[in-house]
Amino acid sequence: GDYAGSEVRELETTVYLPPTTDAAPLIVLAHGYDGHPRKFTELALHWANAGYAVAVPRFPVSNDEFDEIAGGEFFAQRVADLTQQSLDVSFVIDEVLALNAVGDSEVAGRVDPERIGLFGLSMGSLTVWTTVLGPDATENRVDALMQSDGGFPGEADRLTTVTFPVFMAQSDA
């Protein structure tokens, strides 16, 4: 279309840490279409105060600022970016765990690399499912998944291959 795109993919991510210095489970929170990390501040703080490290990326194409930045409505491009967003989730896990291993990082020693969960809202649900079950999925570090008000990509019988706890919530409005 009229939007040339970018040579780089910026993945601004907000990380919330629990008040303790103990190694905490990591939750990567995936926002939905027209989402943004700022919309999840209260939830992320609640989880952090409950003892979790929470990483909330701002997906570059599906966030609520993209159309304004790109100068138009790009629905198809935003939905088509789903596969890339699943790779973004794995990248966020990689980066948080890398910071966890660096002694002078604020994250150092604060994340338990053996306890990783994903949460997705709406299109974010499709993102986290694609991260673990998509056609090109290689993410095998996930120990739990929560989805809210979103779909499942593909046939439901694929759920039989899931070996970790899953929580699915769906509103009726």
Amino acid, res. 120: G
- Cα–Cα distance for residue pair 173/155, rounded to 1 Å: 24
Question: Do the Cβ atoms of 12 and 92 come closer than 8 Å?
Answer: no
pLDDT of residue 9: 82
The predicted structure's pLDDT at residue 140: 93
Q: Mean pLDDT check: name the lowest of 3-12, 35-44, 161-170.
A: 3-12
Averaged pLDDT for residues 142-147: 96
The pLDDT value recorded for residue 110 is 97
Residue 144: pLDDT over 90:
yes
Residue 155 has pLDDT above 80, yes or no: no
> Which of 30, 14, 49 has the alpha carbon at shortest distance from 148?
30
Average pLDDT value for residue range 44-62: 94
Local confidence band at 67 (pLDDT 50, 70, 90 cut-offs): low
Q: What is the mean pLDDT of residues 38-45?
A: 96
> Does pLDDT of 2 surpass 70?
no
- Write out pLDDT tens, residues 23-40: 999 999 999 878 889 999
Burial 15-51, CB ≥16 within 10 A → b, else e: bbbbeeeebbbbbbbbbbbebbbebbeebbeebbeee
For 78-134, what is each residue's pLDDT tens digit? Answer: 566 677 889 999 999 999 999 999 989 999 999 999 999 999 998 899 899 999 988
CA dist 111 and 15 (Å) reads 11
Q: What is the pLDDT of residue 77?
A: 65
Q: How confident is the model at residue 74 (pLDDT cuts 50, 70, 90)?
A: low
Residue 35, SS3 per DSSP: strand
